[in-house]
A and B are shown apart, each in its own frame.
Chain A
């Protein structure tokens, strides 16, 4: 029933040598920029996760703090920025450039803008990798980069937006498919969030003070922080899911109506949820309560997305046996469902009282990042590799091993941090019969969770190993590819 909303955008298998019949023209997609983004995704993903493994080691083994430039406090922002903006960032740009051209049946509006976007973004990543270890930071989570880099991000993002919207303008398909709705929401909202949270006055080349202070700064920060999760790690990946999952499963999306309802409710509700990061702090209670109520409401539209994803596989579940791509999507979407159930749970004040400030939060973030963002990205890459490089995947078996190593690694990781978080949270609040703290010395609560930090490191290393397997598979696949892979093309009426 939904067939009309999916246009494959590709109707020629012999794209390289096409000639257009009378009254028609050939439109060739810009797949080169997609190849760039996919390669960058793999490289930065490995680097970002490697830094993650190092800081995971630094927690139980302080000797791994290697001097001022490589100590935990400076590397942790490098890790989060690398995996969010470099790994997930390049992945969603690759997904957007690949699918938007096919969904609009046109080449991107400007190849030059596409390339400025690509190289500008890589330059931003390199600047982050240099400035953060040097200690240039705003101190605001997930927005640590100082003002010169912030301005560059804004410029590159605007170029990306202009290129994207002008591509929509010259589209050959009247109606925008649901993936494009999510891309639109991503592009405009990230711009608003980034600018809003970066408002600051410079007091040096790499030093600035935010225009808001204290309570207001905290509010703006978590309005940004929570919605970076929403509009950088959720909506673009939902768009990715809506395009690549039906493609890989060769099934139409389960429900068009559900996609409308869950799109608009996600876009409207998510923004309100930020203050749940500030429960029981000095932020007024009414704001935190609003944040909690909207977080709980978010559960339903989030699961709307999960259901629309998983039910798209109805009648196609047998394909999971042979398709590592589908297996990765299923794990990814399942973990999207788990994280978006856990998120509202953690926003409930009584739960938050226990979980806040503990490793439970870190475990939750990684269930989303490793489970949802990671596996959706891996699934997309394994699907794209043979298509973009006109050859077969070098080793489906290695990809399958990646799936298992990654899944086990992720499970170890989150289980270790759940138990670390709950353990420490309970120890902090334990009173004895006489009404005294059972563990008045903070150190006791730290020693207790060190073994779980080691388990977490093992889990993280397994996940990183999987990432390395993807890298090897990618290199070998590209080496087998023809010298100059051809970009896909379609024939359209003039």
Chain B
């Protein structure tokens, strides 16, 4: 060791060889990431498959991308840790197999608001509409920003096919038929949701608005595991 670091030792020699120095640095840097990452990809046991976890529907996928656009992940996590208080507050802890179709993952790193991993089904559809329009109408004292524009901006389904094709290439099991019928599927799911919202006394013109996709996505969150227990 001392031969290496003494004032005119071997390290002094490689300080005169930038190329060697750079190669050694790259090697030192690559070791850790490689050793940790390869097992995650190669060992299937690390991410046990949950058969009831299925890809997002076209409308939910659209809503998920709106969730990303608005930066919801900055304040809401989607990752319940295996602690008693979190199970009590949010439900069962999150499993690795639950986010296999999440590109990107949206686990978050900050809970300025509560965790949303299992928010699906917790509130009625109309609650979400009211909450996004004016968070304080459903949750007094909330510090969440209002997202009223989701109720007026038109729902854009034009890029759905391209998005789903991209996901299919990456391994999400969408069939070609599902991709071709994506827009129609999304519209049908949107109509259903919108009917339910207006039947419960909510606005009646939301079927073609962004909010519908957002509600569809939020109501989906964490529900796959419940399908498994039914």
Instruction: Find out whether the CB atom of B102 lies under 8 angstroms from the CB atom of A217.
Output: yes
A185 with B29: CB separation less than 8 A: yes
Among A213, A268, A282, A353, the residue within 8 A (CB) of B95 is A282
Digitize A215-252: 1 where CB-to-B-CB distance is under 8 Å, 0 elsewhere. Answer: 11111110100000000000000000000000000000
Contact A214 B5 (CB under 8 A): no
- One of A36-44, A133-141, A318-326 at the interface: A133-141
CA distance A174 to B12 in the complex (A): 10
Determine whether A480 belongs to the interface, using a CB cutoff of 8 Å to chain B. Answer: no
Kindly supply a per-residue 1/0 record for chain A positions 111-140, scoring 1 wherever the CB is within 8 Å of any chain B CB and 0 otherwise. 000000000000000000000000111111
B201 within 8 A of A: no
Determine whether A210 belongs to the interface, using a CB cutoff of 8 Å to chain B.
yes
With beta carbons under 8 angstroms apart, the residue of A73, A136, A201 that contacts B75 is A73
CA distance A30 to B149 in the complex (A): 50
Cβ contact within 8 Å between A58 and B145: yes
B21 to chain A: closest CB distance in Å? 6
Is A211's CB within 8 Å of the partner chain B? yes
Contact A184 B41, beta carbon cutoff 8 Å: no
Shortest distance between the CB of B221 and any CB in chain A (Å)? 14
Tell me if B31 and A446 are in contact (CB < 8 A): no
Let me know if B109 and A214 touch, CB within 8 A.
no
A residues less than 8 Å from B165 (CB atoms): 203
In the complex, what's the smallest C-beta–C-beta distance from A360 to chain B, in angstroms?
10
Question: In the complex the two chains form, is A256's CB within 8 Å of B96's CB?
Answer: no
| Chain B residues near A71 (CB-CB < 8 A) | 70-71, 145, 147
- On chain A, the residues within 8 Å of B33 by CB distance are 196, 223, 271-272, 274
Q: For B163, what are the chain A residues with a Cβ–Cβ distance below 8 Å? A: 203-204, 207, 209
Residues of chain A with a CB closer than 8 A to B104's CB: 138-140, 209-210, 217, 221
Q: A207-B65, A210-B103 are in contact. Are A429 and B143 (CB under 8 A)?
A: no
Q: Which residues of B contact A287 (CB under 8 A)?
A: 36, 39-40
Q: A280-B82, A442-B89 are in contact. Are A59 and B65 (CB under 8 A)?
A: no
**Number of residues from B at the complex interface, CB < 8 A:** 86
CB-based A-B contact count at 8 angstroms: 256
Known: A73-B70, A210-B104. A176 touches B30 (CB 8 A): no
Residues of B contacting A356 in the complex (Cβ-Cβ under 8 angstroms): 81, 109
Min C-beta distance of B220 to chain A, whole Å: 15
* Least distance between A78 CB and chain B CB atoms (Å): 10
Distance A442 CA – B75 CA, assembled complex (angstroms): 13
Contact in complex: A214, B100 (CB < 8 Å) = yes
Contact B69 A137 (CB under 8 A): yes
Q: Is B114 an interface residue (CB 8 A)?
A: yes
CB within 8 Å for A261 and B5 given contacts A185-B25, A213-B101, A282-B79: yes
B125 within 8 A of A: no
Interface centre among A73, A202, A212, A256 (most CB of B within 10 A): A73
Docked-complex contact B81 and A353, CB < 8 angstroms: yes
Who on chain A is nearest to B18 by CB?
A: A168
Chain A at the B interface: SS class: helix
How many residues on the A side are at the interface (Cβ–Cβ under 8 A)?
97
Closest residue to B65 on the A side, CB-wise? A207
Residues 433-453 of A contacting B (Cβ, < 8 Å): 437, 440, 442-443, 446-447, 450
Asked if A351 is at the interface of the complex by the 8 Å CB criterion, the answer is no
Looking at the assembled complex, report how far the CB atom of B19 sits from the nearest CB atom of chain A, in whole angstroms.
Answer: 8
**A201 CB contacts on chain B under 8 angstroms:** 166, 169-170
Most buried by B among A169, A174, A283: A283
**18 A-B pairs with C-beta separation under 8 A:** A188-B22, A203-B162, A209-B103, A212-B103, A213-B100, A214-B98, A214-B101, A256-B5, A260-B11, A270-B32, A275-B36, A282-B94, A282-B96, A284-B96, A358-B111, A359-B110, A431-B85, A442-B114
Q: Name B residues whose Cβ lies closer than 8 Å to a Cβ of A.
A: 4-7, 11-12, 15-16, 18, 21-22, 25-26, 28-33, 35-37, 39-41, 46-47, 65, 68-75, 77, 79, 81-86, 88-89, 94-96, 98-114, 135, 139-147, 149, 159, 162-163, 165-167, 169-171
**7 nearest A-B pairs in the assembled complex, by CB-CB distance:** A73-B71, A214-B99, A271-B32, A65-B145, A272-B32, A135-B69, A203-B166
Q: Which residues of A contact B (CB under 8 A)?
A: 1, 4, 58-60, 62, 65, 67-68, 71-74, 76-77, 135-141, 165, 168-169, 174-176, 181, 184-185, 188-189, 192, 196, 201-204, 207-221, 223, 256-257, 260-261, 264, 267-272, 274-275, 277-278, 280-284, 287, 290-291, 294, 353, 356-359, 361-362, 428-431, 437, 440, 442-443, 446-447, 450
